[in-house]
């Protein structure tokens, strides 16, 4: 995306927004009651629903740390996906470890899915269906060459076809799958909410929660990801920019905090720390903290972590620390909600 795209503030019709949010809550409540799966709007969960719907799988409750789905024969599946619009046309394994690689042996198949998001609702149109044991063996060998401490690896189509010996499977979309009704309803509301807020790709990652918080603060959330226009999460009517951290508890995670990232925070008017109840789609608390104090505290915590790891002869795999409820006083936090 262009780095010089102008930010234009949009006044949100709050009455319309909260009506849509009420519909949103009802869908989530129905989905939880019928399928025992909640928080269907976070962490790109919608794409797992799309994949499961087309493959006639049952979703397994939970997000990270569990298998994604199971079929009627008891086979368990791990889902990986990328979108057609993505700049990275590979499937990523983040923060892999010997344990996570070994767990793939217990997985019947890994679904490496392609999502065509040039249409609405998006279409799951093809995939590679690879036995978990084959993926595990590939990763055991391939990760020996990984030097980055974060331990991240991308798997390409060539890796799957040439190294794993699996060919592409084309998928026929289902309009009458077990999740079709909810998929259509979700995207109908999402489309209306995007028009109301001016924010695109609301169901990607956790952007929906930034929008819910921004509505309370009269901010606009950036649709852009990266570049100058997308360097900050939100902005206000006067053009002031903000970093958002939204959590379901009083612990806010700051990942990959290089000096460049920390310096970027200093451009913010403030850093917003919010707590939301994702199951019931309500904001519980919003705090505003000073960027300079926050950067200072993050550096302190990163140093403490480095010293602690050094004593244990461990290497920090990722520049990542969290701010807790106890840090709010140190940061002179101002409660906004």
Domain boundaries, the chain: 57-170, 198-335
pLDDT above 70 covers what percent of the chain? 94
The CATH code that applies to domain 57-170 is 3.40.210.10
Region 297-325 average pLDDT: 90
In this structure, the number of other CB atoms found within 10 A of the CB of residue 23 comes to 15
pLDDT, tens digit, 9 for 90 and up, residues 22-63: 998 999 999 999 999 888 887 788 999 999 999 999 999 865
pTM of the model: 0.86
Decide if 57-170 and 198-335 have a common fold.
Answer: yes
pLDDT, tens digit, 9 for 90 and up, residues 261-292: 999 999 999 999 999 998 888 999 999 999 99
What CA–CA distance (Å, rounded) separates 181 from 184?
5
Cβ within 8 Å of residue 85, ≥6 positions away: 117, 118
337 touches 283 (CB < 8 A): yes
Q: What is the crossing angle of helices 207-217 and 180-197, to 10°?
A: 40
Region 138-144 average pLDDT: 91
The CATH code that applies to domain 198-335 is 3.40.210.10
């Amino acid at each position: 995306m262009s780095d010089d795209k102008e930010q234009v503030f949009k006044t949100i019709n709050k009455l319309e927004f909260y009506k849509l949010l009420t519909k949103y809550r009802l869908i989530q409540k129905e989905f939880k009651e019928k399928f025992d799966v909640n928080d269907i709007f976070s962490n790109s969960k919608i794409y797992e629903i799309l994949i499961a719907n087309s493959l006639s799988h049952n979703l397994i409750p939970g997000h990270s740390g569990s298998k994604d789905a199971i079929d009627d024969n008891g086979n368990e599946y791990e889902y990986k996906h990328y979108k057609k619009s993505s700049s990275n046309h590979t499937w990523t394994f983040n923060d892999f470890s010997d344990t996570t690689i070994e767990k793939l042996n217990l997985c019947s198949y890994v679904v490496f899915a392609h999502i065509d998001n040039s249409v609405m609702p998006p279409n799951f149109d093809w995939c590679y269906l690879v036995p978990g044991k084959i993926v595990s063996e590939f990763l055991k060998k391939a990760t020996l060459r990984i030097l980055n401490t974060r331990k991240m690896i991308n798997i390409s189509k060539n890796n799957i076809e040439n190294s794993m010996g699996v060919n592409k499977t084309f998928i026929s979309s289902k309009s009458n799958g077990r999740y079709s009704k909810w998929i259509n309803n979700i995207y109908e509301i999402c489309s209306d909410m995007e028009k109301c807020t001016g924010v695109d790709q609301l169901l990607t990652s956790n952007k929906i929660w930034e929008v819910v918080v921004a509505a309370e603060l009269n901010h606009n959330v950036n649709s852009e990801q990266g570049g100058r226009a997308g360097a900050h999460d939100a902005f206000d009517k006067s053009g002031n920019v903000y970093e958002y951290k939204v959590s379901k508890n009083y612990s806010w995670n700051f990942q990959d905090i290089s000096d460049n990232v920390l310096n970027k925070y200093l451009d913010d008017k403030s850093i917003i720390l919010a707590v939301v109840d994702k199951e019931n789609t309500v904001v519980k608390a919003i705090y505003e903290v000073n960027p300079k104090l926050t950067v200072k505290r993050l550096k302190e915590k990163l140093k403490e972590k480095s010293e602690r790891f050094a004593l244990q002869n461990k290497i920090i795999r990722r520049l990542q620390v969290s701010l807790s409820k106890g840090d709010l006083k140190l940061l002179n936090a101002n409660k906004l909600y």
